[in-house]
Amino acid sequence: MNKNTQGLMNFLLPLFAAAGGYLIFTQEGSMSTQQMLMPTVLVVLYAFFLQLGLTKCPTGQAEYYSDSIYFLGFLYTLMALVTLFIKLNDSLGEDISTRIFGLVGVSVSTSIAGVLLRNMSRAAYMKNHPENEDDMADATARLAEIAASLSRDSAQTLTSIQDFLTERQNNLQIFGDKEERYLQALDRFSSVTDSFCTHLTRQGEALDESISHFTRGSGESLKTIEDMSSTVSTLSREMSRLNKEASSLDLEPLSDSMQILSRDTRELDGVIDSMIGILDQKMEKVPV
């Protein structure tokens, strides 16, 4: 094998790994059949291009490059599983069963394709190099064991994923029921709160009206009190003035005059009584 061919074969593995990784990591939504088969197709193409360079390759190098076929398949499997768990972590509460089964299909199909194509590549190489038939038998036996182990592991993986999805669905159902009850309780609380707020608003409006009436009444009362205070102040000043005038008034002459008036009044009363008696007597003598 010349250096150019060897360099090209060494470049193929990272190239196909990057291409498959891009196809797997960038999948959004449910995977179509074509999208699910593309990584497996890449493994087939890698095995085909690799086989073209193995015809004149030494046995050691042939083993190395043949092993890279199922290494690429297992690498795609790892990428698919990593993507699977990332999507599971990012989509709690969502139903992503279709995307999950698509990624599981990629992980299983690429692993099996890698093992089978590695076996086929090794068989083709041994066919062109009959001197290594014993090595071919041993390699076939080892690959059969690997394929059986891979089949068991894939079955266990699928069972584990199915159990996980079932448990997750049950948990989502329980969570949904609890969330529904919580929302119902929240609706009842919101209704009671709205009623309380409405009642509180009405009470606040009534209180505002009462305070307004009280404020107006207080203003009127304050004005009345101010008027009364002004009147009392005026009356107090007048009473003080009258008290001063009364204190300065000489009552002795007035007292003497009042005594004389009282005596004259009594004498006048006596004269009037006498005249009334005389008139009564005259009236009795007048013939009817």
Q: Which residues contact 246 (CB under 8 A, 6 or more apart)?
A: none
State residue 266's pLDDT score. 81
Tokens read off for 95 = 């139903």
Map out the domains of the chain as residue ranges. Answer: 3-172
Tokens read off for 204 = 């606040």
Q: What's the one-letter identity of residue 169?
A: Q
| % of the chain at pLDDT higher than 70 | 71
Cα–Cα distance between 180 and 45 in angstroms, integer? 52
When pLDDT is cut at 50, 70 and 90, the band that residue 140 belongs to is low
What is the pTM (predicted TM-score) of this model? 0.47
More confident residue, 197 or 55: 197
* Mean pLDDT of the 74-82 span: 86
87-104 pLDDT, tens digit each: 777 665 555 566 677 777
183-209 pLDDT, tens digit each: 888 888 888 888 888 888 888 888 888
Instruction: Report the largest interatomic distance among the alpha carbons of the chain, rounded to a whole angstrom.
Output: 198
State residue 144's pLDDT score. 64
